[in-house]
Amino acid sequence: MTTTADWQQATYIAGQAADARINVELETEGMTLNLGPQHPATHGTLRIVVRLDGEQVVWAEPVCGYMHRGYEKLTEVRTYPQVTTLVNRIDWLGHFCNEVPFILAAEKLMGVEAPPRAQWLRTVFFEMARISNIMLFLGDMGVQLGAITPVFYAFRDREHVLNLMEAVTGGRFHPNFDRIGGLKEDLPKGWIDETKGVMKRVRDFCDEMEDLLMGNPIFQQRTRGVGVIPPHVAAEYGLSGANARASGIDVDLRRDEDYPLAWKEIDWKVWTHPDGDSFARYWVRLQEVRESASMIEQLVDGLPSGSIQAKVPRIIKVPAGEAWVHTENPLGEMGYYVVSKGGLGPFRCKIRTPSFNNISILPWLLRGVFVPDVIAILASLYFILGDIDR
């Protein structure tokens, strides 16, 4: 009796298992989901093709190039002063930061160094561009996870920072302000006082985001443990900036490299987070905005007086040579490898953009995650399409 029962039971289990396998096979026909090219989560025209098994991603492939403008080729037909106009548009939210490494590379080849006041002001604008860039991220991350309100706060408060930029440079988004050997203009009257007020608002904004978003249990559930990047994988893919620091890699070029800029002169911290998940990336960026606000306050207090432009020839010719200058931009490590043959423009200019490397990890990172997490991961990696496609 018992043997019969066992046999029956075994048959039953085998039948169930076969059914289950059929069901599984039916489901694994899968579905290909086309995310983008236009999608609120993609910050521009990035397309991500994901193949799904139910709700789970089994394969993902980013398709870029919708915004490819060929800047590396275009730099070859432009003079050095003209190139800054182009590179403003690479990461359009971190406008000024794109100009600085290129100018520094040209100055390195020419053996020119900007006067101290220009160096400090460059650092001020660099950090200001970082603030205006990352503030938008801090609100935008919320809107991509379904919280509409923070992004309005972000746009509102970012406007104050952009107004400061506009007051100096005349351009909200594309200042084109950095020159070989210095800066275009000096500060307008009353700007420093206004800056201090705005920096206070920036810090208030950070507190607000901390209360609104980071303390929110829904936000934490959607981001904690989602999209974990171990440090060695991050380094191998070339992840930089806050994405690397959120994986516990203690690297910040502002501290590690020796620039003719004012970061060495002031007191600030590099924030890292050991978790490597989407929440850590948000957390690190939030701390960085606070840190940048405090940096700007110190910088405008200690601003040296004097000229803002070193003496350079009217027609800029850069001696033959090669220079690599990379800086810690809002999105990560941005660098220019400038090859000069002694002409009026670069012979070759390799533009290393952070977002290109930052999203090249997506095929690895998105494998096995669920569809809503794809959005959270994309949002937390924080890329700008102009920065990927150049």
Interface residues for another protein in 26-65 (CB under 8 A)?
64-65
**Which residues lie below 8 Å from residue 149, measured CB to CB, with a gap of 6+?**
142, 212
Is 285 a binding residue for another protein by CB under 8 A? The answer is no
Which member of 53, 216, 324, 371 binds another protein (CB under 8 A)?
324
Which member of 8, 28, 320, 370 binds another protein (CB under 8 A)?
320
Q: What are phi and psi of 8, to 5 degrees?
A: -60, -40
Is 321 a binding residue for another protein by CB under 8 A? The answer is yes
As a whole number of angstroms, the distance between CA 379 and CA 376 comes to: 5
Choose the stretch contacting another protein; rule: CB under 8 A; options: 153-161, 204-212, 354-362, 369-377: 354-362
Is 113 a binding residue for another protein by CB under 8 A? The answer is no
Nearer of residues 67 and 192 to another protein, judged by Cβ: 67
Is 357 a binding residue for another protein by CB under 8 A? The answer is yes
DSSP, residue by residue, 227-265:
S---HHHHHHTT--THHHHTTT----HHHHS--SSGGGG
Nearer of residues 155 and 268 to another protein, judged by Cβ: 268
Count residues near another protein (CB under 8 A).
74
Which member of 218, 341, 370, 372 binds another protein (CB under 8 A)?
341
Which x/- pattern over 74-103 shows residues binding another protein (rule: CB under 8 A)? xxxxxx-xx---------------------
Nearer of residues 196 and 317 to another protein, judged by Cβ: 317
**Which residues lie below 8 Å from residue 16, measured CB to CB, with a gap of 6+?**
none
Cβ atoms 300, 172 nearer than 8 A: no
Nearer of residues 27 and 250 to another protein, judged by Cβ: 250
Place of tokens 């800047």: 71
Which member of 19, 54, 68, 218 binds another protein (CB under 8 A)?
68
Nearer of residues 154 and 300 to another protein, judged by Cβ: 300
In this structure, what token pair is assigned to residue 338? 């400038």
DSSP, residue by residue, 43-62:
TEE-EEEEEEETTEEEEEEE
As a whole number of angstroms, the distance between CA 116 and CA 17 comes to: 75
Min CB(89)–another protein separation in Å? 16
Nearer of residues 185 and 194 to another protein, judged by Cβ: 185
As a whole number of angstroms, the distance between CA 153 and CA 150 comes to: 5
Q: Which of residues 238-277 bind another protein (CB under 8 A)?
A: 238, 240, 244, 248-252, 254-258, 263-272, 274
Which member of 107, 178, 275, 389 binds another protein (CB under 8 A)?
389
Cβ atoms 166, 264 nearer than 8 A: no
Of 389, 381, 365, 354, nearest to 238 (Cα)?
354
Is 230 a binding residue for another protein by CB under 8 A? The answer is no
Is 156 a binding residue for another protein by CB under 8 A? The answer is no
Which member of 43, 95, 108, 160 binds another protein (CB under 8 A)?
108
Is 367 a binding residue for another protein by CB under 8 A? The answer is no
As a whole number of angstroms, the distance between CA 206 and CA 154 comes to: 10
Which member of 3, 26, 29, 314 binds another protein (CB under 8 A)?
314
Identify residue 235 by its one-letter amino acid code.
A
Identify residue 348 by its one-letter amino acid code.
R
